[in-house]
Amino acid sequence: MIKITTPVLGDDELKEVKKVLDSGYLVQNKYVKQIEDFISKYVGTKYAVAVSSGTAALHLSLLSLGIKEGDEIIVPDFTFPATVNVVEMVGAKPILVDIDLESFCINTEEIESKITNKTKAIIPVQEFGNSTNMDEIIRISKKYNLKIIEDAACALGTEYKNKKIGSLGDVGCFSFHPRKSVTTGEGGIITTNNHEIYEKLKILRNHGISKIDGKVDFVLPGYNYRLTDIQAALGVIQLKKLEKIIDKKIKLAEIYNRELKNIKKIKTPKCDKDVRHTYQTYHVILDESIERDEVIKELRNREIESNYGAYAIHTLKYYREKYKLEDSEFDNSTKAYNQGLAFPLSYEMNEKDVIFVVGKLKEIIE
Ligand SMILES: *Cc1c(COP(=O)(O)O)cnc(C)c1O
């Protein structure tokens, strides 16, 4: 079976994890510090705060920015539902915006019409390792005094105008889930340049604990969103491989583009010249004449794993029943959800595998 992705794990990871087990210090300790130092340097922010998942990163970001009940948050309709769930978790209202079908990121031209006097923030999702037009996001956020929370869960290493994603807003959120380029099993990290936000994040991830005059006190009702040192040790080794993994994925994506170019019924992903796309996922749109779910089944019969790329939030039970939004407001997101297909893409694949996948796909759709 050619899997949709496979984590790149070896003896190096095992050795480093064993060091943690031998030390007896299993929770947040020196490897968590190491992973934070690596990420803040790599992304180019002053601070990084490691947490237990990408979802925890998003949740704490909203809390640290003071987002609360009654606030409205701009979110793209096409994403992994965690992006929107966290908005509900803090009692705010997600204002869904359609995406652009070339980038699969939020359609920046539709944002301003959805802003009201309750709007407090925008969460641009850097979908599939691509980047949204961040100049536009920044311009809009300045004009309306909005916070920017980059959902960069699947975009570690992605660049916009030679700057790393995660350094362009108030906070950036990353995930280390095995479906992403590098993994800690479960895990996530938040990047920021703001010292006040940084301090708040550290308190919120650790039960609300802070030190007042050198004495431990509980200053907020916090969470336990800590990353363990076991996970961080895994991550420290994984991050050494990050650039190698990204380079390979970019190469494989280019081979997909080349092989799929002449198939009229398939729309391949586009990437702006300002963006370094890191292809966490290689995602295409199938023509409406093709039954996407049938293609997934037929690929599986041929030992190839494929899947949906992301979800149209307005169609999911909770959001559908609560907000009763129409498909017609989200043409592109609806199309990407119904006709989108994510192909296998991982470090361990080679040119031959990509050609095999595309060959089988042709067999199915022709
Ligand atoms: C993976 C992902 C998340 C959630 O990250 P977890 O670590 O699984 O909690 C959130 N948003 C996007 C866009 C993602 O791809």
Q: Is the CB of 184 under 6 A from ligand 1?
A: no
Nearest CA to ligand 1 atom 14: 153
Query: Is residue 17 a part of any domain in this protein?
Result: yes
**25 and 153 housed in the same domain:** yes
For the stretch 156-196, pLDDT in tens is: 999 999 999 999 999 999 999 999 999 999 999 999 999 99
**234 and 117 housed in the same domain:** yes
**291 and 310 housed in the same domain:** yes
**133 and 227 housed in the same domain:** yes
Dist. CA 55 → ligand 1 center (Å)? 6
Dist. CA 191 → ligand 1 center (Å)? 15
- Give the domain extent around 319: 242-365
Query: Is residue 57 a part of any domain in this protein?
Result: yes
Query: Is residue 184 a part of any domain in this protein?
Result: yes
**195 and 334 housed in the same domain:** no
Atom of ligand 1 nearest to the CA of 127: 13
Q: Is the CB of 55 under 6 A from ligand 1?
A: yes
Residue 38: per-residue pLDDT: 98
For the stretch 222-265, pLDDT in tens is: 999 999 999 999 999 999 999 999 999 999 999 999 999 999 99
Query: Is residue 3 a part of any domain in this protein?
Result: no
**What's the structural domain count of the chain?**
2
**43 and 185 housed in the same domain:** yes
For the stretch 188-222, pLDDT in tens is: 999 999 999 999 999 999 999 998 888 999 999 99
Out of 51, 58, 59, 83, give the residue to mutate to test ligand 1, the one with the largest number of ligand atoms within 8 Å of its CB.
Answer: 83
Q: Is the pLDDT of residue 80 over 90?
A: yes
Q: Which of 218, 239, 260 is the last residue of a domain?
A: 239
- Nearest CA to 1 out of 303, 349, 351, 295 is that of 303
Contacts of 61 (CB under 8 A, 6+ apart): 149, 171, 173, 190, 201
CA 260 to chain CA centroid, Å, is 25
Nearest CA to ligand 1 atom 1: 153
Share of the chain above pLDDT 90, in %: 98
Strands of 80-193, DSSP E: 93-97, 119-122, 147-151, 159-160, 163-164, 171-175, 188-192
Q: Is the CB of 132 under 6 A from ligand 1?
A: no
Dist. CA 84 → ligand 1 center (Å)? 11
Q: Which of 212, 239, 266 is the last residue of a domain?
A: 239
**294 and 182 housed in the same domain:** no
Residue 203: per-residue pLDDT: 98
Which residue's structure tokens are 């290689």? 282
Q: Is the CB of 235 under 6 A from ligand 1?
A: no
Dist. CA 282 → ligand 1 center (Å)? 16
Q: By the 8 A CB rule, do 184 and 233 touch? A: no
Query: Is residue 2 a part of any domain in this protein?
Result: no
Domain harbouring 249, CATH code:
3.90.1150.10
Residue 212: per-residue pLDDT: 85
Band (pLDDT 50/70/90 cuts) for residue 37 is very high
Q: Which of 207, 239, 271 is the last residue of a domain?
A: 239
Query: Is residue 5 a part of any domain in this protein?
Result: no
Query: Is residue 1 a part of any domain in this protein?
Result: no
To which H or E segment does residue 286 belong?
strand 282-286
Distance CA 90, CA 300 (A): 39
**222 and 274 housed in the same domain:** no
Domain harbouring 47, CATH code:
3.40.640.10
Q: Is the CB of 330 under 6 A from ligand 1?
A: no
**220 and 255 housed in the same domain:** no
Q: By the 8 A CB rule, do 171 and 62 touch? A: no
Sequence-ordered alpha helix ranges (H) in 220-324: 229-240, 242-260, 292-301, 317-323
Q: Is the CB of 82 under 6 A from ligand 1?
A: yes
Q: What is the CA radius of gyration of the chain?
A: 21
**28 and 79 housed in the same domain:** yes
Residue 366: per-residue pLDDT: 87
Average model confidence (pLDDT) for the chain?
A: 97
Query: Is residue 64 a part of any domain in this protein?
Result: yes
**125 and 211 housed in the same domain:** yes
For the stretch 2-28, pLDDT in tens is: 999 999 999 999 999 999 999 999 999
For range 107-117, the mean pLDDT: 98
**77 and 186 housed in the same domain:** yes
Nearest CA to ligand 1 atom 5: 54
Q: Is the CB of 95 under 6 A from ligand 1?
A: no
